[in-house]
Structure 1
Amino acid sequence: MSTRSPVLAAGCVLWRPAVSGHGIEIALVHRPKYDDWSHPKGKRKRGETAEACALREVREETGQRCELGARLPTVHYTVDGRPKEVTYWAARALGGTFAPSKEVDALLWLPPAAAGARLTMPRDRELLGLAVAISRH
């Protein structure tokens, strides 16, 4: 059991009504440093709430403003031997413009099934499934 304090982070399973008018689309970001596809997320700044971090990270990584919806499970894993704790929400995109950066070089909006197939980590697929179920209610 590690005695090191966890890295605290927050993020969102970001969704919007599908452009087609049927169903929803999920935003996925590509991080070139890890060459992975994930939900937008990032480390909390000192004194920052999880909610504020999630909103900031979505804005920084996708260009989107968003409205937090249902809280999703907190995900726990280890990065370079240090525990990490990421708090997630389902969040509806309210608009914005994506600009590629060194941290995130691509943004995709995909139907849930395609998003699930594209996500790199199984834990992100679990969050996707929960967010999709919640968004249908």
Structure 2
Amino acid sequence: MNDTPVLAAGCVLWRRSPVDGNLEVCLVHRPKYDDWSHPKGKLKRDEDAVTGALREVHEETGCTALLGNELSTALYYANGRPKEVRYWAAEATEGHFTPNHEVDRILWLRPAEARQRLTQPRDAELVDELLTSLHNAP
């Protein structure tokens, strides 16, 4: 059994609604798992977590992002191996989503709706961390 963790990174991506200015969180739908999660993915060889997190956001949502505070690191088992996912708060700056084989849909939801839609409880906790992080921002 391989106990070396799979290293991954992602973001809790947010924006101000273009309609009413309210905070919205971006969720991605992965058809392979039929789940809703935050944009994230495995790091490439020798890739640092910050670069990987921003790359994954762009690949999965089409958005470029401005990185904010680091949030909790998720530790769990996937396919029998430990997985370590570092997360950051990130503000979407620009971009356009195009469906692909990995992510077929994205949703921009208010935080309470995002918490309800997320498949994993640990992902819902990250929404709370984002709100705390933004509330405490200078």
> What is the SS of the residue equivalent to 2:100?
coil
Q: Alpha-carbon deviation of 1:3?
A: 5.6
Q: Which structure 1 segments of 5+ residues have no match?
A: none
Q: Alpha-carbon deviation of 1:4?
A: 1.7
Which whole-Å deviations, capped at 9, do the CAs of 1:14-37 have from their partners, x for residues lacking one? 000122334310000000000000
Q: Which residue of 2 aligns with 1:101?
A: 100
Q: Alpha-carbon deviation of 1:60?
A: 0.1
> What is the SS of the residue equivalent to 2:125?
helix
On the 8 A contact 2:58/2:64 being kept in 1, the answer is yes
Determine the C-alpha separation between the residues in 1 that align with 2:22 and 2:132.
12
TM-score, length-scaled by structure 1: 0.95
Q: How does 1:41-120 map to 2 (within 5 A)?
A: 41-120=40-119
TM-score, length-scaled by structure 2: 0.95
> What is the SS of the residue equivalent to 1:46?
coil
**Structure 1: 4+ residue segments shifted above 4 A:** none
> What is the SS of the residue equivalent to 2:107?
strand
**Number of equivalent positions:** 136
Determine the C-alpha separation between the residues in 2 that align with 1:3 and 1:79.
12
The one-letter code sitting in structure 2 at the alignment partner of 1:13 is V
Q: Alpha-carbon deviation of 1:134?
A: 1.3
Farther-moved stretch of structure 1 (84-93 vs 12-21)? 12-21
Q: Alpha-carbon deviation of 1:7?
A: 0.2
Determine the C-alpha separation between the residues in 2 that align with 1:52 and 1:6.
19
Q: Which residue of 1 aligns with 2:8?
A: 9
Q: Which residue of 2 aligns with 1:130?
A: 129
Q: Alpha-carbon deviation of 1:11?
A: 0.1
Which whole-Å deviations, capped at 9, do the CAs of 1:32-53 have from their partners, x for residues lacking one? 0000000000000000000000
Identity %: 57
Which whole-Å deviations, capped at 9, do the CAs of 1:37-95 have from their partners, x for residues lacking one? 00000000000000000000000000000011000011100011100000000000001
Q: Which residue of 1 aligns with 2:34?
A: 35
The one-letter code sitting in structure 2 at the alignment partner of 1:41 is K
The one-letter code sitting in structure 1 at the alignment partner of 2:113 is A
The one-letter code sitting in structure 2 at the alignment partner of 1:60 is E
Cα RMSD, aligned residues only: 1.1
